[in-house]
Amino acid sequence: MPKLFSLFEAVKPTLWCVFLFSLLSGCASNTGDTRSGDAAAFGGNQITVYKSPFCLCCNDWIEHLEGNAFAVTSENGLDTASVKQQWKIPPSMQGCHTGVWNNQYVFEGHVPARLIRQFLANPPKGSIGLAVPGMPQGSPGMFRGKNFEPYVVYAIQSNGEYRFYEKVTAPEAS
């Protein structure tokens, strides 16, 4: 026991340094305008996904995002409706999961990573995010390699309305 204790005492200053560095790194802030411009320059590609712990297609969508250079954390919960209400996602635009970028923009359902990146680079005026309502067979997380079905992506407006953003006519790269 004494040898184990002396080993811990020798390593303890190093652990404190690592802890302090991690804490200070997490406190760094970016004071730029994150409402427009390059997402990588303003907070990176971090998305939090709110989903049911039992949803497999949500996990597949997360893998799609990660395969396209997004850092994803997920919050499992049975009440995803409260997140959708908080972001004022119209009922007709809802999907099975909700992604939130930097607590500023929302991506509802199986939105392709390519379109998330496009949106973040130049958010349309008055928009708070994108939505793919339902679970279309051609969308990332739902497409299984055959029987692709084109689908529409909508821009969600801050006033609770939505409008056409883009029609996806081919499967997205993983």
**Residues spanned by the domain of 146:** 37-168
Q: In the chain, where does DSSP find H-type helix?
A: 2-27, 56-66, 81-86, 113-121
4 domain residue, yes or no: no
The Cα-based distances of 34 to 22, 31, 87, 135 in angstroms read: 24, 8, 18, 30
Kindly report the CATH number assigned to the domain that includes residue 89: 3.40.30
* Rounded Cα gap, residues 146 and 127, in angstroms: 33
- Residue-wise pLDDT for 111-158, tens only, equals 999 999 999 999 999 999 999 999 998 999 899 888 899 999 999 999
Residue 104 has pLDDT above 60, yes or no: yes
21 domain residue, yes or no: no
Question: Does the CA dihedral 99-172-119-135 come out positive or negative?
Answer: negative
For 108, the token pair is 């509802």
Question: Does the CA dihedral 156-162-166-172 come out positive or negative?
Answer: positive
Residue 12 has pLDDT above 80, yes or no: no
- Give me the residue label for tokens 């407006």: 157
- This prediction's pTM: 0.73
80 domain residue, yes or no: yes
173 domain residue, yes or no: no
16 domain residue, yes or no: no
17 domain residue, yes or no: no
Number of structural domains, the chain? Answer: 1
* Rounded Cα gap, residues 129 and 143, in angstroms: 22
- Residue-wise pLDDT for 24-38, tens only, equals 223 222 323 333 334
Residue 56 has pLDDT above 90, yes or no: no
